[in-house]
Structure formats: structure tokens, C-alpha cells
């Protein structure tokens, strides 16, 4: 789904400055795979290094911080840089939830509710300041900062919700993936058929794709005795990263997730 029909104070001439991609099928495919890497990547770091969860979290935050600086410094949307930022923030969001659950002993019910409220607060402040939550309005550093903060909250929330359904409620990873996939389909129908607000349905989908991707990742990586296919975190992460890289390189060349030259020329007065 796309929120390309948003209306706010920005003129169309500024849209070419947007730091995020157009919302297409490629967007959602890569987003889901990024969330899968976020889940399996975080598990990989915990399984194959001697770092504690806290140390891994701080290391991931540091790496993400460096990547975010480059992303925020870019003057336009760069596919490789943008999606690298999404992968990094996905891992950080996963580890934040794991920290509260495994280290602090916070119930998944509580963390799910907490991150839901936190996301709501971010959206409220963002909207009151900028008067839009549309991703097509990401044309200033302030809006981009709100954008990435909201995304961090969606990843933490999605991780908590996914673990809650799959593990706490004990429905299993495959069942959880089916449930979140069905909710995502319902959200898409609400937007496409019933014309529900595009910005609202976009952010609902953004939240839902996190537990969907995480459940898929857990199902692929976990051993059969734990309800998975047993591919392991290494192989699952490698497969997803290769698929992401292939799609991102394709988009970098084809520019199918960017504005067309004709639209850019029209916006620039050409």
C-alpha cells in the first residue's frame, strides 16, 4: 500500500528530496526480509559471539548510530544506504525487546503495551509538530528523525508482539506468521477496497510486517524440535541478506522505487 495521496503543506516540488523509497511491492518484500534478518541476526550475534546480550545491544546501537549518521547526511534516497539502516535498526529493535524480556524480566504483555504507548507518543508529537505522518513528507532532518524513531518503536513493538503470540501464548512460529499475515492482508484490503486512510494503514502494515518477518525467521532457523525447519540462524540470515542485496541492487539500477524522470522534471518546472 502507499500513502502517495497525502495532503500537507509541502509542495510537490520538494518531493524529489524525500529520503525514503516509494511504497511498492518491492518495499514490503524487502521490509519483511529485513525484519527476518533482524530476528535471526540478533540471535546469530548471541549464539556465535562471547558477548552478553547487553554488550551485543550496545555494539548494535553503536553500529546503527554510525549508519544513521550517513543516512541522515545523504541528500537524497540511496537504496543501499536506506535498507542497510533498516536492517541495523531491526537488529537494535529486536535486542531492545530481548533486553527487557531476558535481562529485566519484563513480561511480553507489558512490553507490548509499553511499546504501543511509546509509538503512539512518537506519532502524537510528530503530528503536532509537522502536521503529517506521511513518509512522502520526509524532506527535512526533523521529519527524518521522527521517522527513524517511529521505525525503532515499530521494530521493538513487533518483536514483543511476535514473541508474545508465538512463545508466550504458545501458538508456534508458523501459526504466528499466518495470523500476522492475515492481519496484514486485512489491512491491505481496508486500504485498497474500503479506502481507509493511507497513512494509517501504512503504519499498521509497518508494525505487522515486523512480527510476520520475525515469525518467518524463527520458523526457518529454529530446530524442528522447537517448531522450526532447522536452517539455523547463519543460513537463514545469509539467504535473506542475499535476497535483500539482489532486490536493492535491482532497484538501484531500475529506480523503480523512485520518482520517474517525468515527474521530477515536472516538479522542477522542466
Domain assignment of residue 266, yes or no:
no
The whole-number average pLDDT for the span 140-168 is: 94
Task: State residue 17's pLDDT score.
Answer: 59
Domain assignment of residue 190, yes or no:
yes
Task: State residue 47's pLDDT score.
Answer: 81
User: CB-hemisphere CA count at 13 Å for 90?
Assistant: 30
Q: What is the pLDDT of residues 65-75, one digit of tens each?
A: 999 999 999 98
Residue with the three cell numbers 524522470: 261
Mean of pLDDT over the chain: 87
| Total domains present in the chain | 1
Instruction: Provide the residue range defining the domain that includes 157.
Output: 14-255
Task: State residue 261's pLDDT score.
Answer: 39
Task: State residue 1's pLDDT score.
Answer: 56
Of the pLDDT bands very low, low, confident and very high (cuts 50, 70, 90), residue 135 is confident
Domain assignment of residue 7, yes or no:
no
User: CB-hemisphere CA count at 13 Å for 134?
Assistant: 20
Which residues fall within 8 angstroms of residue 208, CB to CB, at 6 or more apart? Answer: 158, 180, 183, 184, 187
Domain assignment of residue 183, yes or no:
yes
The whole-number average pLDDT for the span 190-197 is: 96
Q: What is the pLDDT of residues 214-269, one digit of tens each?
A: 889 989 998 887 778 889 998 999 999 999 999 999 999 999 898 543 333 333 33
Domain assignment of residue 220, yes or no:
yes
Lowest mean pLDDT among 17-21, 121-125, 172-176: 17-21
Task: State residue 44's pLDDT score.
Answer: 86
DSSP secondary structure, 180-207, as one string: HHHHHHHHHHHHHTT---HHHHHHHHHH
Q: What is the pLDDT of residues 92-105, one digit of tens each?
A: 999 999 999 999 99
Alpha-carbon span 11 to 8, nearest angstrom? 8
Alpha-carbon span 108 to 31, nearest angstrom? 23
Domain assignment of residue 20, yes or no:
yes
Lowest mean pLDDT among 42-46, 82-86, 202-206: 42-46
Of the pLDDT bands very low, low, confident and very high (cuts 50, 70, 90), residue 122 is very high
The whole-number average pLDDT for the span 70-83 is: 93
CB 191 within 8 A of CB 198: yes
pTM passes above 0.85: yes
Amino acid at each position: 500500500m502507499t500513502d502517495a495521496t497525502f495532503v500537507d503543506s509541502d509542495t510537490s516540488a520538494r518531493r524529489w528530496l524525500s529520503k525514503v523509497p516509494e511504497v511498492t511491492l518491492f518495499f514490503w518484500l524487502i521490509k519483511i526480509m529485513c525484519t527476518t534478518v533482524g530476528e535471526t541476526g540478533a540471535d546469530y550475534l548471541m549464539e556465535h559471539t562471547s558477548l552478553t546480550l547487553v554488550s551485543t545491544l550496545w555494539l548494535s546501537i553503536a553500529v546503527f548510530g554510525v549508519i544513521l549518521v550517513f543516512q541522515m547526511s545523504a541528500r537524497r534516497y540511496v537504496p543501499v544506504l536506506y535498507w542497510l539502516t533498516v536492517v541495523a535498526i531491526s537488529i537494535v529493535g529486536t535486542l531492545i525487546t530481548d533486553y527487557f524480556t531476558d535481562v529485566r524480566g519484563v513480561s511480553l504483555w507489558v512490553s507490548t503495551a509499553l511499546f504501543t504507548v511509546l509509538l503512539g507518543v512518537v506519532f502524537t508529537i510528530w503530528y503536532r509538530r509537522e502536521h503529517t505522518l506521511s513518509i512522502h513528507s520526509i524532506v527535512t532532518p526533523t521529519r527524518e528523525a521522527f521517522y527513524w524513531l517511529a521505525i525503532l518503536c515499530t521494530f521493538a513493538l513487533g518483536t514483543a508482539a511476535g514473541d508474545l503470540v508465538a512463545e508466550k501464548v504458545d501458538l508456534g512460529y508458523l501459526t504466528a506468521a499466518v495470523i500476522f499475515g492475515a492481519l496484514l492482508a486485512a489491512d491491505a484490503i481496508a486500504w485498497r477496497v474500503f479506502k481507509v486512510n493511507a497513512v494509517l494503514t501504512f503504519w499498521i502494515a509497518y508494525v505487522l510486517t515486523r512480527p510476520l518477518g520475525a515469525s518467518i525467521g524463527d520458523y526457518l532457523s529454529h530446530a524442528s524440535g522447537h517448531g522450526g525447519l532447522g536452517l539455523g540462524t547463519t543460513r537463514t540470515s545469509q539467504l535473506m541478506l542475499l535476497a535483500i542485496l539482489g532486490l536493492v541492487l535491482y532497484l538501484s539500477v531500475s529506480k523503480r522505487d523512485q520518482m520517474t524522470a517525468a515527474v521530477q522534471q515536472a516538479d522542477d518546472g522542466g
